[in-house]
Amino acid sequence: MSSLKGVGPRLAERLARLRLGSVQDLLFHLPLRYEDRGTVVPIGSLRPASFALIDGRVELAEVVRGRRPRLLVRVSDGTGQLTLLFFHFYASQINQFRRGTRIRAFGEVRPGMATLSMTHPDYRLGEADPAAEESGLVPVYPATEGLNQTQLRRLLRSALELAGEPGALPDLLPPALREQHGFPTLLEALRYIHAPPPDAPLHAILDGSHPAVRRLAFEELLGHHLSLRRLRQQLQERARAPELAVESALVARFRAALPFRLTGAQERVDSELANDLARPQAMLRLVQGDVGSGKTVVAAMAALRAVEAGWQAAVMAPTELLAEQHHRNFSQWLAPLGVEVAWLSGRLGTRQREEALTAVASGRAMVAVGTHALFQEAVQFQRLGLVIVDEQHRFGVHQRLALREKGERDGVQPHQLIMTATPIPRTLAMTAYADLDVSVIDELPPGRTPVTTVAVSAGRREEVIERVRTACAEGRQAYWVCTLIEESELLEAQAAEATAERLTEALPELRVGLVHGRLKNADKEAIMAAFARGELDLLVATTVIEVGVDVPNASLMIIENAERLGLAQLHQLRGRVGRGAVASSCVLMYQPPLSATAKLRLGIMRETNDGFEIAQRDLELRGPGEFLGTRQTGELRYRTADLVRDAHLLPLVQRAAQQLLREQPAAVQPLIDRWVGHGERYAQV
Ligand code: ADP
Ligand code: MG
């Protein structure tokens, strides 16, 4: 930065606030918008709230005394009059504005007392000297206190000059790649964006469709993508993974015992996993599948392949409840095959916990199920060969990488299978999960009917209660989900209790159950089990039922205060119905008035049942950082790219990355260094 003229420690500190620490950072600090200073607007056709350049003559100038003294300059160009206002001025300044003096002024047009006005415009007096003027399209940058547009523009002009010196800013995209996509060179792109020609298509620059902007976004996405692929490569090279046979007698027996046939998608993903597991490099695969698509069965088969070869498998879930469900499923399926499943719950007593840990350490229990938190503590495996992570978006790249390193022992690395319940748009998966292979279970088990969704104002509660009555009279079952804004289990539980009481009164003929997070595990399980057996008609619940219950006869889902929940959670909840052959429906009850985004969210839920579609819309609404829950880590903060705007570039980026790694490996590291930095972002791994 010090190579730029006039940048001392104070300015450097202000630049640092904008995360601008080098000349290159400055160059990638792109304008928010542009001001057109090339076109003179007649005063008579000025419109308030726009920026404009006017050219006229001074009619009068006076200092108005008062609480806030101001200098007022009336200007006219024959089409109308405009008042320029200065609150900060020198006494002598008034003398500049002699009647009849030519003046050009640029600023924001605002309504005024007698005429439109401009406050503190940029202005120039006297006959025009074109060379000395800022003209044409002038960029406006993200700025900060103590660092104004004039300074930023000056800094950028010097930065561009420096960049123009030979070798100062190498173009890291190979020419062939550039030509293939019709991209300008880096320097051309930067010059175009920071100093566009007067006729530049501004909307194309600002919406990212202009080749100059596309080129920058492409290069940045490529840098990030390459860095993830490289990390993955390095991890895989460092340690070998157990080679597990594709054919497995345990898997065959497991399949024979299942009460259903696997779907085509499950078969396909199973063989993708089997192939990965047979290789000496650690598998790193993400299995995406909508709610109810049957990911658990597929995970169980992978675990059995490990067990058959004498390796242990760990199954991790993000919540205790989900871990419980996995434990139940795995025990049910594996115990008959003689495979012991250890349960590492946070709620175990010391004795039970010791026992479970011993079973895992001795290798007696070949499969262990627990929460992520538990596995981060000192669980010793005898011989860990496979880690299954049910992550539900809660894991970032860093955490995944850390987990991989932890699993490594004596030069052996376990395979990793990651399952996500909420689908991630394909495009985003390529970036967020570039360190993983991706499999998709894109088919639901047969016999499921799509859920009809309606949004109903809370004022129509009585009607909703009647719906519950009718459904249950037909022998169906229903859920009633209560939600609260606060993340308080206690308040939520109380609200659910009150709701259950009122519903019991309104529906005396129904058997009503209640589950919430404050209940003892055994009680919660007993109630859910009763509901599953059909001994309860209506289950009032907090959002704890998001995961964990599977009752095909339940055909009605009521979600109270649905406007408070995000799309992912709504989709998860709705996934609890529509699991059988009966037509199911979901009622989203809301408290009016709805905010604009809440309205959009409920509309999306009514329009589609497709988890991938919902995820895509969710991404558009929330942006990638919030979507992936990585906002705090800064993991997905880009300088020039925008994952939503530039999503269409991602397949091109992926292809280019493969090509570079294969044909021009020397071009890879400089791209990573430029956009990701020298390993700083992955320092914590
Ligand atoms: P998710 O992908 O949401 O984790 P699960 O694995 O919990 O889905 O499966 C949902 C339900 O569907 C479970 O009851 C499971 O036993 C059942 N299931 C899984 N695969 C099939 C299939 N091929 N045919 C019928 N039912 C299936
Ligand atoms: Mg699941």
Q: How far is the CA of 569 from the centre of ligand 2 (A)?
A: 14
> Looking at the structure, do residues 312 and 335 belong to the same domain, yes or no?
yes
> Looking at the structure, do residues 313 and 436 belong to the same domain, yes or no?
yes
- pLDDT for residue 11: 86
Q: Is any ligand 1 atom within 6 A of the Cβ of residue 291?
A: yes
Q: Decide if 392 is inside a domain.
A: yes
Q: Decide if 236 is inside a domain.
A: no
Residue nearest to atom 10 of ligand 1 (CA): 292
Q: Decide if 258 is inside a domain.
A: yes
- Atom index in ligand 1 nearest the CA of residue 296 equals 6
Q: Decide if 643 is inside a domain.
A: no
- Atom index in ligand 1 nearest the CA of residue 266 equals 23
- Atom index in ligand 1 nearest the CA of residue 298 equals 6
Q: Decide if 390 is inside a domain.
A: yes
Residue nearest to atom 19 of ligand 1 (CA): 294
> What is the arithmetic mean of pLDDT over 425-433?
66
> Looking at the structure, do residues 435 and 502 belong to the same domain, yes or no?
no
pLDDT at 535 over 50: yes
- pLDDT for residue 90: 84
CATH value at residue 366:
3.40.50.300
> What is the arithmetic mean of pLDDT over 567-576?
87
Residue nearest to atom 17 of ligand 1 (CA): 294
pLDDT, tens digit, 9 for 90 and up, residues 335-355: 999 999 999 887 788 899 899
Regarding predicted confidence, which is higher, 627 or 140? 140
Regarding predicted confidence, which is higher, 645 or 574? 574
Let me know: does 458 contact 589? Beta carbons within 8 Å.
yes
Q: Is any ligand 1 atom within 6 A of the Cβ of residue 363?
A: no
Q: Decide if 90 is inside a domain.
A: yes
Helix axes 596-607, 567-574, angle to 10 degrees: 30
Let me know: does 212 contact 192? Beta carbons within 8 Å.
yes
Domain limit, last residue, from 396, 422, 441: 441
pLDDT, tens digit, 9 for 90 and up, residues 262-283: 999 999 999 999 999 999 998 9
Q: How far is the CA of 478 from the centre of ligand 1 (A)?
A: 20
> Looking at the structure, do residues 373 and 271 belong to the same domain, yes or no?
yes
Domain limit, last residue, from 608, 641, 670: 608
Residue nearest to atom 9 of ligand 1 (CA): 294
- Atom index in ligand 1 nearest the CA of residue 447 equals 25
- pLDDT for residue 619: 78
pLDDT at 625 over 60: no
pLDDT at 401 over 70: no
Q: Given the structure tokens 């309860």, which residue do they identify?
A: 536
Q: Given the structure tokens 């290789």, which residue do they identify?
A: 279
Nearest ligand, measured from the Cα of 330: 1
Q: Is any ligand 1 atom within 6 A of the Cβ of residue 548?
A: no
Let me know: does 221 contact 434? Beta carbons within 8 Å.
no
- pLDDT for residue 335: 95
Distances in Å between the Cα of 550 and the Cα atoms of 264, 539, 555 are 22, 13, 12
Nearest ligand, measured from the Cα of 329: 1
Residue nearest to atom 18 of ligand 1 (CA): 294
Regarding predicted confidence, which is higher, 239 or 405? 239
Distance CA(396)–CA(176), nearest Å, equals 34
Q: How far is the CA of 262 from the centre of ligand 1 (A)?
A: 9
pLDDT at 28 over 90: yes
Distance CA(224)–CA(431), nearest Å, equals 8
- pLDDT for residue 406: 63
Helix axes 295-308, 320-334, angle to 10 degrees: 60
Q: Is any ligand 1 atom within 6 A of the Cβ of residue 580?
A: no
- What percent of the chain stands above pLDDT 70? 88
> Looking at the structure, do residues 459 and 426 belong to the same domain, yes or no?
no
Q: Which residues contact 489 (CB under 8 A, 6 or more apart)?
A: 516, 517, 518, 542
Distance CA(240)–CA(375), nearest Å, equals 22
Distance CA(25)–CA(22), nearest Å, equals 5
- Atom index in ligand 1 nearest the CA of residue 293 equals 2
Q: Is any ligand 1 atom within 6 A of the Cβ of residue 565?
A: no
Q: How far is the CA of 421 from the centre of ligand 2 (A)?
A: 6
Residue 4, phi then psi, degrees to nearest 5? -90, 140
Distances in Å between the Cα of 153 and the Cα atoms of 24, 158, 335, 580, 648 are 15, 9, 70, 64, 31
Distances in Å between the Cα of 614 and the Cα atoms of 8, 425, 567, 569, 590 are 50, 9, 7, 11, 19
pLDDT at 640 over 70: yes
Residue 20, phi then psi, degrees to nearest 5? -110, 105
Q: Which residues contact 501 (CB under 8 A, 6 or more apart)?
A: none
Residue 49's pLDDT band (cuts 50, 70, 90)? confident
CATH value at residue 128:
2.40.50.140
> Looking at the structure, do residues 463 and 580 belong to the same domain, yes or no?
yes
- pLDDT for residue 617: 85
H runs (alpha helix) in 108-167: 149-163
> Looking at the structure, do residues 583 and 660 belong to the same domain, yes or no?
no
pLDDT, tens digit, 9 for 90 and up, residues 112-159: 888 999 998 888 888 765 544 566 788 989 888 788 888 899 999 999
Count of domains for the chain: 4
Identity of the amino acid at 675: W
Of 113, 119, 52, 107, whose CA–CA distance to 79 is shortest?
52
Residue 402's pLDDT band (cuts 50, 70, 90)? low
- pLDDT for residue 5: 72
How many other C-beta atoms are found inside a 10 Å radius of the C-beta of residue 643? 23
Q: Decide if 254 is inside a domain.
A: yes
- pLDDT for residue 485: 56
Q: Is any ligand 1 atom within 6 A of the Cβ of residue 552?
A: no
Regarding predicted confidence, which is higher, 425 or 183? 183
pLDDT at 484 over 90: no
Residue 191 belongs to domain spanning: 170-227+654-685
> What is the arithmetic mean of pLDDT over 362-381?
84
Identity of the amino acid at 471: A
> Looking at the structure, do residues 321 and 365 belong to the same domain, yes or no?
yes
- Atom index in ligand 1 nearest the CA of residue 289 equals 2
Q: Is any ligand 1 atom within 6 A of the Cβ of residue 532?
A: no
Q: Is any ligand 1 atom within 6 A of the Cβ of residue 312?
A: no
Q: How far is the CA of 368 from the centre of ligand 1 (A)?
A: 21
Domain limit, last residue, from 81, 114, 133: 133
Distance CA(412)–CA(48), nearest Å, equals 69
Please, what is the average pLDDT of the chain?
86
Q: How far is the CA of 406 from the centre of ligand 2 (A)?
A: 25
DSSP 144: B
> What is the arithmetic mean of pLDDT over 228-251?
86
> Looking at the structure, do residues 505 and 370 belong to the same domain, yes or no?
no
Reduced to 3 states, what is the DSSP secondary structure of residue 55?
A: strand
Nearest ligand, measured from the Cα of 575: 1
pLDDT at 627 over 60: no
> Looking at the structure, do residues 536 and 489 belong to the same domain, yes or no?
yes
Q: Decide if 620 is inside a domain.
A: no
pLDDT, tens digit, 9 for 90 and up, residues 94-104: 888 999 999 99
DSSP codes, 495-520: HHHHHHHHHHHH-TTS-EEEE-TTS-
> Looking at the structure, do residues 298 and 413 belong to the same domain, yes or no?
yes
pLDDT at 629 over 60: no
> Looking at the structure, do residues 422 and 381 belong to the same domain, yes or no?
yes
Total residues belonging to the chain: 685
Q: Is any ligand 1 atom within 6 A of the Cβ of residue 292?
A: yes
pLDDT, tens digit, 9 for 90 and up, residues 292-321: 889 999 999 999 999 999 999 999 887 777
Residue 217's pLDDT band (cuts 50, 70, 90)? very high
> Hey, which residues does 81 pair with through a beta bridge?
76
